[in-house]
Structure formats: C-alpha cells, structure tokens
A and B are shown apart, each in its own frame.
Chain A
C-alpha cells in the first residue's frame, strides 16, 4: 500500500514537472524538438502510471480475496464451535429433560405405591407407560424367591410371552452370572456393549437390550434382586443420568418389599389374634350356654324343691295355728310361746319360699305379667297402707308430693306392689328414727322413672355390685339385728326386668340411698335396648 502511494506521488510529480518544462520552453521560445521531447516524456510517464495502476488493482483484489477467504474460514470455524457448543447444550438439555421427567415419574409412582402393601400390586404398577416415561423401552425385575431360594423373573415390561419364557430359562441356566451380579450390589451402566466382555454380551443377548442399566434391590444392605432397564434401539442409548433413576427405583422397590414383608407379618399376627378371639368367643358362648342351662336346672330344682317344701310347711303353719287358738284344748303358756315362735318362723319360711319360687318362675319365664296401666300414685298408696304403721313406729316421714297424679306405668299390679313393698320396706328399715323417705316419679320419654330415697347409712362401696344378687346381705348393724331373706332386691330386679324395665342404685355413704327404676308408662312394645340407649 505504501509503495503504491509513493509511486503515485512520483508519477504526479513527473507529470507536473514535464508540464512546467513545456510551458517554460514555450515561454522561452525554445525549439520544437524540446517541446516534442517533453511531450514524449510526459506520454511515457503517463503510460507507466496506467500500467502500474492496473497491476496494483490486481494485487489489491488478490489481497481482498485472501482476506475474505480467511474471514470465511474463520466464520466456518466459528460455526464449528457453535455446532459443538450447541450439541453439548442439546445433550445437557436432553439429560436434564430426562432426569426431570424421570424423577417426576418416580415421585408420582412413589406417591401412588406408598399405599400398596402387596409386592404383586407394586410390581403391577410398573407398566409400559411408567417404563417409557422413565425413558426406557424395556424392563426386567428379577428377585430371589424366599421359598425356593433362587432368582426368579417377577416382572417384565414390553417383552413378548415367548421372550419371557426364554429369559426365565436363561436365568435358570445362567444362574452363576446373575448371582454374581447380585453379589456386586452396585449399579452398572452399559452404554455400548463391549464385545470382549462376555458378561455384557450375554446379558445383552438374554435381555434383548443394546444398552441398559442394572441396579440392585437392597434390603438391609443385602441385594435380594436386580432391576434391569434399557433400550433395544442402538439409536437410543441409556446415559449416565439413567443409572441414577434406575438406582432410585431399585431402592424404592427394596423398601416397598421390606414394608410389604412387615405388613404381611402384621397382617398374619392380626389374623392369628382374630382367630384366637373368635375361638375364645366361641368358648365363652358355649360356657354361657352351659351356664344358662345350669341356671335353668337350678331354677327348676329350686322351683320343685320349694313347691315340695311348701306343702308340709302349710301343714306346720296350720297345725300350729290350731294349737295356738286352743281348738285342741288349752295350751300351757310356755308351750303357747313356743308354738307362736313355730308359727312366726314357718310364716317367714313360707315367705322366703314364695320369694324363691317367684324368682325362679320369673327367671325361667313361667310367670306371665298381667300388665295394665296403673297410676303410680295409686300403687304407692296401696303399699303405704301396709308400710305406714312401720314408718310411724320410727317417726319417719314419707314424702310422696313428687309423684304427678296422672303419671302411669304399664305393669302387673301384684308384682309392682311387691316392688314398692320391698323398696319402701327396706327404706323404713334403714332410715333412722325421725328420718325421711322421699318417693318421686318423673316422665322420661316413653318411660316413668320412680325413685325411693332414704337418709339412712347408705350402702358400703364394696357391696354395691352385689346387692341385687340372691341371698346377698350387706354386713351392717341393722341387718345384724333384723334378719332378712336376702331375696327382696333380687326379686325386685327380676320383676322390673320382666317388665322390660331397669333398676339401679345411687348411694352416698352416711347420707342415704336412692333406688330408681324405670318402666314403660304405656302399652307400647318397647325394646330393651332402647332403655340402655337412653342411659
């Protein structure tokens, strides 16, 4: 470039110089020769200028082309760089895509299968869609069978029936190979089959896969199976990221198998427990049946014995009355006293026998209650006629102001009188001098609830559970003084229950006792369980 410039300057200078010479010679009237020579020189110089310019142009173009070529090659090199970077980017992106999809699929699968506790159910969830979303075409799950203690193909995805039976045979045949795989207990990635590696070659043949990942199923650090996932297409090979996914899947399967085994144990023990509960219930039912039978036999026995006892007792009572009344001649005072005792005790014995008889009849269902609608007030009044003298003797006030006049019960009058007699009799018996007895009645739904309360000494805690038992008598001063049969409350309970009613006791030691019973207030068949519901 600099040369060209220099030549340019020189050429121009020469042209100007020759022109100046021409003018100068013309001015000085010099000869034509000189003029011609000058013109000739000028022409020569001009021609050399044109020639040089062309040469320079060509060189210039050559230079430009080489510059362009360089730039073109540089651009192509840049394109190569771009292509390489883009390929890396695409690969990374593909790996990332694969991983995200795979992890998402595993997460979804984990959520779905966390509730599944049977191994079969778990293996069934590994279907074609799952395997494909994880980024593979085929899958095999081989697990050590607990019973046979050998490796067995438990699940295959996207294999034909024929392929499956071949694989099963191969697992049996190549047992050593698979056992060796188990013992390694780490994840293996086979991206390209190494033809020199017999294990890889064999596995590729057995599993029909061109690239694959093998991951161990671990249970407490011991490999109990393997998961093989891969692709048959040589154009779609597994990558590094895939081994992580298969490894996660295998460990999840391991955990699930462990959970499943635990659940199986739990289920089995639950089954055993249920079985023994059933057995015990059956035994209890049988014992109960036996007891019922025994109770019936007892009732029958008591019933027949008491019946047999009553006949001679009536004679004893009758003959002692005849003797007392002196119908067979005057009886000396000492004998009379003894005879009166005989009559009193035989009367007591007769009452006892009647009560016993009633209890056994009620128990065995041989008494039919003649139910009618009875105003509570009337029933109470009838009984008070008998009880009043005893209450008066101890200056006990019996308060019946809390019985609504129109409130009724649906009951057998005779038996209900016995209930009232017993409860009021007990209340008078245990209420101290100048004490108070309160009788109340209240309507509760379809029932009437009647309470008899006294302010006596109350029942000791230990006796509460037994007071309705036959012949049970609480140990206290009053009972020690006044003999009783121990059948009163037992009879009351049975009568109430025979009316589909219920009786219970509320008690405060040294403050008093309150017996409450409820009975249907009208003729309406009421199921016994309804009563329990209300309570």
Chain B
C-alpha cells in the first residue's frame, strides 16, 4: 500500500461553508477507510474556528495541520480568498508522523522552534518503538509576521540536528502583515509554529530557487538586531532604497516598502550556493531600520537584488527539476508548493504560469496544493552546507513526496 491523497478547495464567503465544502470535495470518491491527516491552507479573512468546524463537520476525527496564507494554490489555479486542503492516508510502514506545537514565536523564536521539535521527537519515539523507523524530515508552518524566521529554524535544528531537512512555508495574511494563524490538533493558534516530524519508506524530493540577481555595489550591514537591519554602511538601513530609487523615507513609507522590498530584496552571497540568499524587508522602523522576516548577520556583504518574470519562472522550472531529480527513481505521489508572495507580486496576472511550470515538469496528474508564503524553509543544495535547511525569502520550494 502506498500513500493516497485527495484534494478539496472552496472560496465561499461563509467560513463554515467554505471549510465544509472543501472537506466534502476532498472526501468525495475517497477509497480508503482511514485518513491520517489533513493539510489545510486558507485565507486569513475567514473566521478560523468556524472554518475548522466546517471541515470537522465532514471529517470529525482527522488531525488538521496547516496555516493561513496570503493566497492558496489548487491544481486548477490560485484562490485569492479561499481554502485549499489535502487529506492523506497511508500504511504506517510507508508513512507515519508525529507533531509538535511551539508557542510565543514573537517573544523567543528559537525557543518556539525548540518546543515544536522536542514535542515532535517525544511523540515520534513512541512510534519508532512500533515501526523501527527513523526520522525523515520536519514539515513546519511558522508564523510569518512575528519573530525571526531564521531563529525558528535554528531552534528546530538545535533539537533535530543541523543537517536535518526542514521544509515549509511561513503563514501569511492578506498583505496586512499583522496576524497569521496556525492549525494543529490543539486548535487554531497564532504566534506559533506547527511542525510535523515524518518517517517511513516515503522519500522526499526538494527543490528551492528564487531567480533574483544581484545589482550594483556591495554594501555592509554595520548594525543589526535579529531580523532588523539597523544600519548599512553606517547609514540608516533605509538609505539603500533611498539611494537606489531616489525617494526619501516619507515617500517610501507611503509607497509601501513591502512592495519595493518584494521586488528588490536584499541579497547575501553564500559560498558554494548558486543563488544569493535573499531577505525582503517589509516594514520601515522609526529610525529608518528595515524589518525583515528573518535576519542577515552583521558585517554581511549585501547587494540589492532584481528579478524579472522570465528569471522567476526559470527558477520555478529549476526548482521542480531539482525536486524531481532528488526523488530519484520514485514517482511523485503528492506535491506541496510553498512560493513567496513576492513572486506573485512580480508575476501579477501571470502568477498561474509558475504553478503551470511546476505541473508541466512534475506531471499534471500529481495532486498538488500549496500556498503563497511570507517566507520559505528548505535545505541549501551546496556542499558547503551539506543540506542544512535555511530560511528563504522570495523563493519557491517544490516538495515532492514519493
């Protein structure tokens, strides 16, 4: 027996109805008696508890994991204000999992990572005694607007090991950058991280790319604190954007920086990696600080990054090809796509092309869901990092389960 996956999605205005209809679609024609888990990505406009109640009215005893999203992805396109979900079932030898919830990301992101990973490991040990399996990967959905995304991963890595593959997407809201929600059997939480630790014979193929290229001079981060870049070249950090776009801070505040930060993020060269690691600042602090979803270290040599539609689509193609290559001989049974809202912003009306590109490479009959994130988690590919997971911005993470 292998993994079975069914999908459902809906965009009803009524939260309960939307949840119920999506679950009903997913359960329709379900050939098996059991469901191991449901993955849910939904718009933050919904009343989250009612949405989950709607799902539970159809599949009452199934553990639900997931988070709110800037937009959700279905095999048929992008849902701006909807819900997309997958139900998954497998025999324990092929696939099994444990999970952990980490709270208070804002206060201590690293500790939240610890909590989530520890809880998942504890539970996993109980399963291991039954199936003699080893841990394969950690799928996480952290809050995308509070805390330091990189610290969350560090926290997880301190428990799971530096090179343990961690993948996922940071929860979003509808471009408000205010509050996101995470789903777990503990209910709907905020300011938290949900992690699923998986095991079994299933293999994973991961591909991550962004497609942005460096532009202009190197600059140095001269002062920073966690995810806040305070000074660049001893000037307030915002000067980078003021200089490049010849606009003062006031205008940059009016013309939301998040849009500019998405289109022109900050990049840092990582030795051995093909692409720069990028960070998109989404808020300007009082003294011209740039607030990002994850940190860039002090003294880091940075550059402004630029991308275009072609480079972004090419990146999606490369990520899909890498994921497929990493899956080896196996054929994909299920695909999860976590892609940055920046990409959606850049691609505009052509956003569907990104998902089309992924589908054209991994195969159109592979069930696929995903969401637009405020940050992505996936391992680096270079030898230097030997598969260490990292917090990405502006990237697309294609995860194939086979």
Closest to A84 in B: B245
Interchain CA distance A137-B174 in the complex, whole Å = 9
Taking a contact as CB atoms under 8 Å apart, the answer to whether A97 and B349 are in contact is yes
Contact of A132 among B81, B176, B256 (CB under 8 A): B81
What is the number of residues of chain A that contact chain B, defined by CB distance less than 8 Å?
A: 32
Taking a contact as CB atoms under 8 Å apart, the answer to whether A128 and B175 are in contact is no
Say yes or no for A72: interface residue by CB 8 A criterion: yes
Contact residues on B (Cβ < 8 Å of other chain), bracket: 20 to 34
Taking a contact as CB atoms under 8 Å apart, the answer to whether A235 and B348 are in contact is no
Interchain CA distance A232-B45 in the complex, whole Å = 12
Say yes or no for A59: interface residue by CB 8 A criterion: no
Interchain CA distance A90-B260 in the complex, whole Å = 10
Taking a contact as CB atoms under 8 Å apart, the answer to whether A128 and B81 are in contact is yes
Say yes or no for B25: interface residue by CB 8 A criterion: no
Interchain CA distance A231-B177 in the complex, whole Å = 13
Interchain CA distance A235-B70 in the complex, whole Å = 13
Closest to B307 in A: A86
- Which residues of B (317-366) have their CB < 8 Å from a CB of A? 346, 348-349
Question: Known: A75-B216, A76-B216, A80-B216. Is A232-B176 also a contact (CB below 8 A)?
Answer: yes
Please name all residues of chain B whose beta carbon is closer than 8 Å to the beta carbon of A192 when the two chains form the complex: 254
Please name all residues of chain B whose beta carbon is closer than 8 Å to the beta carbon of A241 when the two chains form the complex: none
Interchain CA distance A101-B243 in the complex, whole Å = 33
Taking a contact as CB atoms under 8 Å apart, the answer to whether B256 and A235 are in contact is yes
* B78-89 interface bits toward A, Cβ cutoff 8 Å, 1 = contact, 0 = none: 001100000000
- Distance in Å from the Cβ of A152 to the closest Cβ of chain B? 21
Say yes or no for B304: interface residue by CB 8 A criterion: yes
Closest to A87 in B: B245
Closest to B262 in A: A235
- Which residues of B (10-58) have their CB < 8 Å from a CB of A? 11, 13, 45
- Distance in Å from the Cβ of B284 to the closest Cβ of chain A? 11
Taking a contact as CB atoms under 8 Å apart, the answer to whether A83 and B306 are in contact is yes
Say yes or no for A273: interface residue by CB 8 A criterion: no
Please name all residues of chain B whose beta carbon is closer than 8 Å to the beta carbon of A34 when the two chains form the complex: none
Please name all residues of chain B whose beta carbon is closer than 8 Å to the beta carbon of A79 when the two chains form the complex: 215-217, 244, 304
* B147-177 interface bits toward A, Cβ cutoff 8 Å, 1 = contact, 0 = none: 0000000000000000000000000001111
Taking a contact as CB atoms under 8 Å apart, the answer to whether B81 and A129 are in contact is yes
Say yes or no for B237: interface residue by CB 8 A criterion: no
- Which residues of A (225-247) have their CB < 8 Å from a CB of B? 231-237
Taking a contact as CB atoms under 8 Å apart, the answer to whether A90 and B81 are in contact is no
Interchain CA distance A402-B296 in the complex, whole Å = 115
**Footprint of A on B, CB under 8 Å?**
11, 13, 45, 80-81, 174-177, 215-217, 243-246, 254, 256, 258-260, 263-264, 282, 304, 306, 308, 346, 348-349
Known contacts A83-B304, A233-B175, then 6 further A-B pairs from the complex at CB < 8 Å, ordered by chain A residue: A75-B216, A86-B264, A127-B13, A233-B174, A235-B176, A236-B256
**Footprint of B on A, CB under 8 Å?**
72-73, 75-76, 79-80, 82-84, 86-87, 90, 93-94, 97, 100-101, 127-129, 132-133, 137, 158, 192, 231-237
